[in-house]
Chains A and B, each alone.
Chain A
Amino acid sequence: LAKTTQPISMDSYEGQEVNITCSHNNIATNDYITWYQQFPSQGPRFIIQGYKTKVTNEVASLFIPADRKSSTLSLPRVSLSDTAVYYCLPIFSGGYNKLIFGAGTRLAVHP
């Protein structure tokens, strides 16, 4: 399974765009990049998933370069409620849906 590296923590202010980059140098051909968000004392929640280039949904955008060795989660105009831990996970498309969480990035949004 591909190992991921993310910043341990980030700080931002309300209204700013936040970009969280995840490194996954040994990602496999069949792996999809998936991001989950976790608020304190809650279970993780799926945010976005992609294989390459750019994916956008109502919550975030995900940028994956051609070599797929990294990915960037972009949160536009964050609010205080975006304060959470964000996990980047490569998910193998052909096997059991086994989530192996890395350390994640603790995002703190300040007023």
Chain B
Amino acid sequence: DTEVTQTPKHLVMGMTNKKSLKCEQHMGHRAMYWYKQKAKKPPELMFVYSYEKLSINESVPSRFSPECPNSSLLNLHLHALQPEDSALYLCASSLNPAGGPGETQYFGPGTRLLVL
């Protein structure tokens, strides 16, 4: 099983709502990532979790709150978002947090978020 799943596929929320994005992998990977991708732009790294601990936060606003309850699950909690936060949110995982030859990231299909 080389699949990363993300739910929901689409999400529409108001600026005062609280919602969560969910990501799961059952490949035994110990690193998990959140990326944000605006239309016609490349993905941008937001967070890296290594062995269920937050290891990198790319200066992401606090209205985005990541959580890694266990090694297979990654959440992104959203609160008080702005319309400019509308984007495709991608989750990825890799076997080891440290890069190296053959170390690749497996991406999920993403959650398309629209903030009204």
Chain A residues near B (Cβ < 8 Å) = 32, 34, 41-46, 49, 51, 87, 91-104
Contacts and interface: CB of A to CB of B under 8 A. Distances in A.
Range of interface residues on B (Cβ < 8 Å): 20 to 34
B42 A46 contact: no
B9 to A, nearest CB: 9
A102 B88 contact: no
A47 B86 CA distance: 28
17 contacts: A34-B104, A41-B88, A41-B109, A43-B4, A43-B92, A43-B109, A44-B90, A91-B99, A91-B103, A92-B99, A94-B99, A95-B98, A97-B96, A99-B105, A101-B43, A101-B44, A102-B42
Given A41-B109, A98-B48, A87 B42 contact: yes
Contacts of A97: 31, 48, 94, 96-100, 103, 105
Given A99-B43, A99-B45, A99-B105, A93 B110 contact: no
Interface in B26-52: 31, 33, 35, 42-45, 48, 50
Interface of B: 4, 31, 33, 35, 42-45, 48, 50, 55-56, 88, 90-92, 94, 96-110, 112
A93 B42 contact: no
A76 B97 CA distance: 33
A98 B105 CA distance: 9
Given A51-B101, A97-B103, A43 B44 contact: no
B100 A96 contact: no
Contacts of B105: 44, 46, 97, 99
Contacts of A104: 42
B27 to A, nearest CB: 13
Contacts of B103: 91, 97
Given A49-B102, A51-B101, A95-B99, A101 B42 contact: yes
